[in-house]
Structure 1
């Protein structure tokens, strides 16, 4: 590998963690740091603002988000990665365009579509994918501004992080969320919600949840909320299973949280005391935790959700989940499935529809027959499927960038015909694309903070930020607040 007269040109599609960490991994690689390889990186996103899943796929009150945003902001703010937002791959920019202007491309578009739950009635009105709801309350500009929240009792299907986020947002009062960056339309929608009971269902037991101890404890935090446990869900845990639970610190802490809630619930019932929230206040909403429930059917009438049927489950002697044959019905007005994500196909990029990923080998994009497509790579959930957290995304990036560097060293990549940095800007402008830049994001960032400073939360304190939802407004603020790049 040797330094060439012109930098190695890389395009990254997607500015969430997978895209940013892939670019950062290349910049931190030995050949680049030693000066042996000079690189030029353009980071594209379909949204006018960066950060992908972190901005549009996680609950605004999630405790770890600020830290992740800060890390990504620090990387992109250095200036050695060029951000170009509001550019839709497949429409504004094609795979052929990328081959013309870049020596290689990394697809890091994530997975934001709901995985299917194939049971009868899932298509009924009032049955929703959790990802759609998350997009609404996170202010995704591509989603409607309103969400119908007139059901008093709702179900959340799943025991992962997304299920927790959805359950927490549905369980909190709208005013509590004013401490976050939720848009005005989301606050108005949640304020008008009629929800009083949120039921969270998991196929397995309390020990098999994917919650962290902190996330489990936070479920009981909302003001006016009572957590309701079913004694049967803990009673059916065998002695051997309890031993396994106590042998794992994280699992034990999570399960003991549920045990504590149940013991307090039973103590109050035995004493004839009225239930309260965690601070002793009156109960306004209830969060029901259900384990050992396998979804069987969404029940409906006149095309609308009226309930849901489950089969109770257990673990057999081999630790496999089996049905007990006992069916249980619940009256419900809405259902949110949070059973996983599924990646979307990108135009002109080989795709595995069953797994929802780009066809690849260790990050190298391949054809259906397994042959490698030179110069095409992938990273993150669209590479491996929607599993794992930030740590896994960083490991993915190392694997993908290692393959990229090997291919550069071996001379497997053909140089792009068009090597002018500004040529891609001229192409976008010729197509009428109102792209945004990092300076534009900084302007939008300050604008959102100023909106927050001019408003107050439920405690009368200025809000940190109010997220802008409308795409046109995001683009306007971004482009008016920052000078556009100049080029010949």
Structure 2
């Protein structure tokens, strides 16, 4: 086969794993990754809590892929603004869309839009130093609620319960530390609609809560309920067993005095956010297990006094110009990674990988199998000679196009400069790194010769 020229839209884990799979396939190819942010690594840099260095360590493997010959990075380039689909199809034989899901999924209950009610994704971006969110975050609530039963809910609750100085060993910027110093939270409440055995926490994430200095984790003994479906889940999953055992132990132990408390509520279905001008509470309905692991309402409601609320009920993707869209799932319709139009016909030369393909499910490592499927489909199409060759095959053409349009793009060498600068800032304070937050400053540092 002739050498393939592949564009990947999105330089997070999904896009980088797709590039790695292509490079390891033995197929002659050159790959250009485009990302709307000036720096690569997507979710790992801007979606993983800063006090999780183990997960952020994945950057090392991603770094190795982007440093390979035949792979180029173009940061600060937004698909739909700086490059159109027709531009990409003019310059590349195929394009893999890896833009992920980074918006908060809506929660349709009364009062959810009151001031003081936030999406977890925006809060995560704030404490992760994302360049496109406001630099200030009001943390004046003593009693805070978090809706959700997954790891993002735990991240939000843990950061809200933690003392600001306990985050000083991480890469948080100064404005985040200042915001956390002003945090008045004494009680953080996490609300899960279903039971202990249906929680989506991973065991390590859950156990970390009990190691936060000055924080007591509280589980109500009456929430420890199981039905046949729950018992089946316990038999089938070692992970579920570990999560449930941890929660049971917390429910049975004696309370310990602590300046802050983190309450985990199960079988508590949010039905309304209370308040007139801003959040003043959350109304939940008590649920009961129905035998198969599912739940049904009991009609018994409880009002929890709160001054702020975060919903962590899942992420959803954003519609992409010139591409078909499944609004319900927030993904690109596809078959084995081949993007399909509204007549279920393949969009020529367009593929999808990661959360924009399958929705926000699975951990970062699960993206490898997803990339393997998508790249397999692309290579099968190449072997079958159904890929239309790019009319313009010169690798320099995309550089010329971006420069003609005045796009201040960043490169891999630029990232290495920014990375060195951030590590230098961190070294001055005894940390591994301190993030540069403003986009303009990131771009300037990346483009300084």
CA contact (8 A) 1:127 1:335 kept: yes
CA contact (8 A) 2:198 2:293 kept: no
Which of 408, 433, 437 matches 1:469?
Answer: 437
CA contact (8 A) 1:170 1:195 kept: yes
Give 1:186's aligned residue.
176
Give 2:14's aligned residue.
18
Whichever of the two has the greater Rg, that structure is: 1
Note the 1:143-222 alignment, pairs <5 A: 143-222=133-212
Q: Equivalents in 1 of 2:95, 2:131: separation in Å?
A: 26
Which of 387, 405, 421 matches 1:447?
Answer: 421
Note the 1:308-347 alignment, pairs <5 A: 308-347=282-321
Q: Equivalents in 1 of 2:264, 2:292: separation in Å?
A: 25
Which of 254, 258, 270 matches 2:247?
Answer: 258
Q: Equivalents in 1 of 2:329, 2:226: separation in Å?
A: 33
Secondary structure in structure 1 of the residue aligned to 2:280: strand
Quick check: 1:293 aligned with 2:284? no
Quick check: 1:66 aligned with 2:56? yes
Quick check: 1:249 aligned with 2:238? yes
Q: Deviations over 1:306-336 (max 9, x none)?
A: 0010011121123321111111110000110
Quick check: 1:122 aligned with 2:112? yes
CA contact (8 A) 1:62 1:165 kept: no
CA contact (8 A) 1:224 1:284 kept: yes
Q: Equivalents in 1 of 2:104, 2:337: separation in Å?
A: 23
Give 2:342's aligned residue.
368
Which of 28, 33, 40 matches 1:50?
Answer: 40
Q: Equivalents in 1 of 2:239, 2:96: separation in Å?
A: 35
Give 1:284's aligned residue.
259
* Residue 472 of structure 1: how far off its partner (Å): 0.5
Quick check: 1:395 aligned with 2:369? yes
Q: 1:248 to 1:396 in 2, by over 3 A?
A: closer
Q: Equivalents in 1 of 2:227, 2:56: separation in Å?
A: 40
Q: Equivalents in 2 of 1:244, 1:164: separation in Å?
A: 21
* Residue 201 of structure 1: how far off its partner (Å): 0.6
TM-score (norm 2): 0.97
* Residue 26 of structure 1: how far off its partner (Å): 1.0
CA contact (8 A) 1:314 1:322 kept: yes
Unaligned ranges ≥5, structure 2: none
Q: Equivalents in 1 of 2:107, 2:413: separation in Å?
A: 42
* Residue 246 of structure 1: how far off its partner (Å): 5.9
Q: Equivalents in 2 of 1:441, 1:254: separation in Å?
A: 39
Q: Equivalents in 1 of 2:91, 2:140: separation in Å?
A: 50
* Residue 207 of structure 1: how far off its partner (Å): 1.4
Q: Deviations over 1:275-332 (max 9, x none)?
A: 23xxxxxx2211011000111000012x200001001112112332111111111000
Secondary structure in structure 2 of the residue aligned to 1:335: strand
Q: Equivalents in 2 of 1:244, 1:355: separation in Å?
A: 26
Q: Equivalents in 1 of 2:200, 2:327: separation in Å?
A: 26
CA contact (8 A) 2:31 2:72 kept: yes
Which of 14, 25, 30 matches 1:29?
Answer: 25
Aligned residues: 449
Q: Equivalents in 1 of 2:53, 2:425: separation in Å?
A: 22
* Residue 238 of structure 1: how far off its partner (Å): 4.9
Q: Equivalents in 2 of 1:242, 1:91: separation in Å?
A: 51
Quick check: 1:424 aligned with 2:398? yes
Which of 356, 379, 387 matches 1:413?
Answer: 387
CA contact (8 A) 2:147 2:192 kept: yes
Q: Deviations over 1:127-163 (max 9, x none)?
A: 1000011111111101000011111111010010110
Secondary structure in structure 2 of the residue aligned to 1:358: coil
CA contact (8 A) 2:402 2:409 kept: yes
Give 1:358's aligned residue.
332
Give RMSD over aligned pairs: 1.5
* Residue 233 of structure 1: how far off its partner (Å): 0.4
Q: Equivalents in 2 of 1:196, 1:321: separation in Å?
A: 31
Deviating more after overlay: 54-63 vs 217-226: 54-63
Q: 1:444 to 1:353 in 2, by over 3 A?
A: same
Unaligned ranges ≥5, structure 1: 33-37, 269-274, 277-282, 456-461, 484-488
Q: Equivalents in 2 of 1:142, 1:343: separation in Å?
A: 17
* Residue 399 of structure 1: how far off its partner (Å): 1.0
Q: Equivalents in 2 of 1:170, 1:91: separation in Å?
A: 36
CA contact (8 A) 2:207 2:246 kept: yes
Q: Equivalents in 2 of 1:347, 1:404: separation in Å?
A: 22
